[in-house]
Amino acid sequence: MERSTRQRTAIRAAIQRSGQPLLAQEVLELAQSAVTGLGLATVYRNLKAMVDDGELRLVLLPGENPRYELAEHAHHHHFLCRGCQRVFDVPDCPGDLRTLAPKGFLVEDHEVTLYGRCIDCSMRRPPRSRRAS
Protein backbone atom coordinates (compact mmCIF):
# COMPACT_ATOMS: atom_id res chain seq x y z
CA MET A 1 0.00 0.00 0.00
CA GLU A 2 2.78 2.37 0.95
CA ARG A 3 4.62 1.55 -2.24
CA SER A 4 1.56 2.25 -4.35
CA THR A 5 1.08 5.62 -2.63
CA ARG A 6 4.68 6.46 -3.47
CA GLN A 7 4.10 5.49 -7.10
CA ARG A 8 1.01 7.62 -7.39
CA THR A 9 2.70 10.58 -5.75
CA ALA A 10 5.61 10.32 -8.19
CA ILE A 11 3.28 10.00 -11.18
CA ARG A 12 1.19 12.96 -10.09
CA ALA A 13 4.31 15.06 -9.50
CA ALA A 14 5.68 14.18 -12.94
CA ILE A 15 2.50 15.28 -14.70
CA GLN A 16 2.23 18.41 -12.59
CA ARG A 17 5.84 19.41 -13.20
CA SER A 18 5.65 18.90 -16.96
CA GLY A 19 2.60 21.16 -17.22
CA GLN A 20 1.34 19.31 -20.29
CA PRO A 21 -0.54 16.08 -21.06
CA LEU A 22 1.85 13.13 -21.01
CA LEU A 23 1.99 9.68 -22.59
CA ALA A 24 2.46 6.76 -20.20
CA GLN A 25 5.99 6.39 -21.56
CA GLU A 26 6.74 10.05 -20.78
CA VAL A 27 5.29 9.67 -17.29
CA LEU A 28 7.59 6.68 -16.78
CA GLU A 29 10.66 8.63 -17.90
CA LEU A 30 9.89 11.50 -15.52
CA ALA A 31 8.79 9.40 -12.55
CA GLN A 32 11.29 6.58 -12.55
CA SER A 33 13.97 8.60 -10.81
CA ALA A 34 11.63 8.98 -7.83
CA VAL A 35 10.57 5.32 -7.62
CA THR A 36 13.20 2.67 -8.15
CA GLY A 37 12.18 -0.23 -10.34
CA LEU A 38 9.16 1.56 -11.76
CA GLY A 39 8.03 -0.09 -15.00
CA LEU A 40 5.63 0.76 -17.78
CA ALA A 41 3.02 -1.83 -16.69
CA THR A 42 2.97 -0.32 -13.19
CA VAL A 43 2.67 3.18 -14.61
CA TYR A 44 -0.29 2.09 -16.76
CA ARG A 45 -1.99 0.44 -13.79
CA ASN A 46 -1.59 3.55 -11.65
CA LEU A 47 -2.71 5.89 -14.43
CA LYS A 48 -5.86 3.85 -14.93
CA ALA A 49 -6.63 3.83 -11.21
CA MET A 50 -6.03 7.58 -11.00
CA VAL A 51 -8.40 8.19 -13.92
CA ASP A 52 -11.01 5.96 -12.23
CA ASP A 53 -10.57 7.95 -9.01
CA GLY A 54 -11.08 11.22 -10.86
CA GLU A 55 -7.58 12.44 -10.13
CA LEU A 56 -6.42 12.35 -13.74
CA ARG A 57 -8.24 12.91 -17.01
CA LEU A 58 -7.60 11.16 -20.31
CA VAL A 59 -6.62 13.31 -23.26
CA LEU A 60 -7.63 11.37 -26.35
CA LEU A 61 -6.64 12.92 -29.65
CA PRO A 62 -7.49 11.13 -32.92
CA GLY A 63 -4.83 8.64 -33.91
CA GLU A 64 -2.79 9.31 -30.77
CA ASN A 65 -2.04 7.13 -27.78
CA PRO A 66 -3.84 8.26 -24.62
CA ARG A 67 -2.28 11.08 -22.65
CA TYR A 68 -2.98 12.05 -19.07
CA GLU A 69 -3.47 15.39 -17.36
CA LEU A 70 -4.57 16.53 -13.92
CA ALA A 71 -8.35 16.50 -13.67
CA GLU A 72 -8.42 19.71 -11.68
CA HIS A 73 -7.59 21.84 -14.75
CA ALA A 74 -10.41 24.13 -15.81
CA HIS A 75 -11.93 23.91 -19.28
CA HIS A 76 -9.15 24.27 -21.87
CA HIS A 77 -7.95 22.95 -25.21
CA HIS A 78 -4.85 21.35 -26.69
CA PHE A 79 -2.16 21.96 -29.27
CA LEU A 80 -0.52 18.97 -30.93
CA CYS A 81 2.91 19.71 -32.39
CA ARG A 82 3.51 17.88 -35.65
CA GLY A 83 7.24 18.36 -35.25
CA CYS A 84 7.84 16.70 -31.88
CA GLN A 85 4.41 15.07 -31.28
CA ARG A 86 4.09 16.77 -27.89
CA VAL A 87 0.75 18.08 -26.68
CA PHE A 88 0.44 21.46 -24.95
CA ASP A 89 -2.38 23.10 -23.06
CA VAL A 90 -4.23 25.95 -24.74
CA PRO A 91 -5.88 27.93 -21.94
CA ASP A 92 -8.10 29.99 -24.22
CA CYS A 93 -11.46 28.85 -25.56
CA PRO A 94 -13.28 30.14 -28.64
CA GLY A 95 -16.33 30.31 -26.40
CA ASP A 96 -19.87 29.63 -27.38
CA LEU A 97 -19.90 27.35 -30.45
CA ARG A 98 -23.62 26.62 -30.34
CA THR A 99 -24.24 28.64 -33.49
CA LEU A 100 -22.14 26.14 -35.50
CA ALA A 101 -24.62 23.34 -34.92
CA PRO A 102 -27.48 22.69 -37.34
CA LYS A 103 -30.77 24.28 -36.42
CA GLY A 104 -32.57 22.37 -33.69
CA PHE A 105 -29.42 20.58 -32.49
CA LEU A 106 -28.40 21.01 -28.85
CA VAL A 107 -24.66 21.42 -28.23
CA GLU A 108 -23.56 19.98 -24.89
CA ASP A 109 -19.79 20.17 -25.12
CA HIS A 110 -16.98 20.83 -27.55
CA GLU A 111 -13.37 19.91 -28.16
CA VAL A 112 -10.93 22.07 -30.05
CA THR A 113 -7.47 20.85 -31.01
CA LEU A 114 -4.88 23.00 -32.72
CA TYR A 115 -2.24 21.36 -34.91
CA GLY A 116 1.05 22.88 -35.96
CA ARG A 117 4.53 23.49 -34.62
CA CYS A 118 5.42 24.33 -31.03
CA ILE A 119 7.81 27.20 -30.30
CA ASP A 120 10.81 24.86 -30.14
CA CYS A 121 10.01 23.27 -33.48
CA SER A 122 9.05 26.48 -35.26
CA MET A 123 12.37 28.11 -34.28
CA ARG A 124 14.49 25.11 -35.16
CA ARG A 125 16.29 25.67 -38.43
CA PRO A 126 16.73 22.86 -40.91
CA PRO A 127 19.96 20.99 -40.05
CA ARG A 128 23.02 22.22 -41.90
CA SER A 129 25.88 20.17 -43.17
CA ARG A 130 28.45 19.95 -40.38
CA ARG A 131 31.38 19.84 -42.74
CA ALA A 132 30.45 23.05 -44.55
CA SER A 133 33.56 25.19 -44.98
The residues binding Zn ion (CB under 5 A) are: 81, 83-84, 93, 118, 121
Exposure string of 103-119, with b = 16+ CB inside 10 Å and e = fewer, is eeeeeeeeeeeeeeebe
Q: Which is nearer to Zn ion, 84 or 100 (CB)?
A: 84
Q: Which is nearer to Zn ion, 39 or 116 (CB)?
A: 116
CB of 86 to Zn ion, least distance (A): 6
Q: Which is nearer to Zn ion, 3 or 73 (CB)?
A: 73
CB of 89 to Zn ion, least distance (A): 12
CB of 105 to Zn ion, least distance (A): 18
Q: How far is CA 92 from the centre of its chain?
A: 16
- Residue 126 CB: number of other CB atoms within 10 A? 4
Q: What's the Cα-to-Cα distance from 69 to each of 3, 36, 97, rounded to whole Å?
A: 22, 23, 24
CB of 42 to Zn ion, least distance (A): 29
Q: Which is nearer to Zn ion, 38 or 81 (CB)?
A: 81
CA dist., res. 48 & res. 117, Å (int): 30
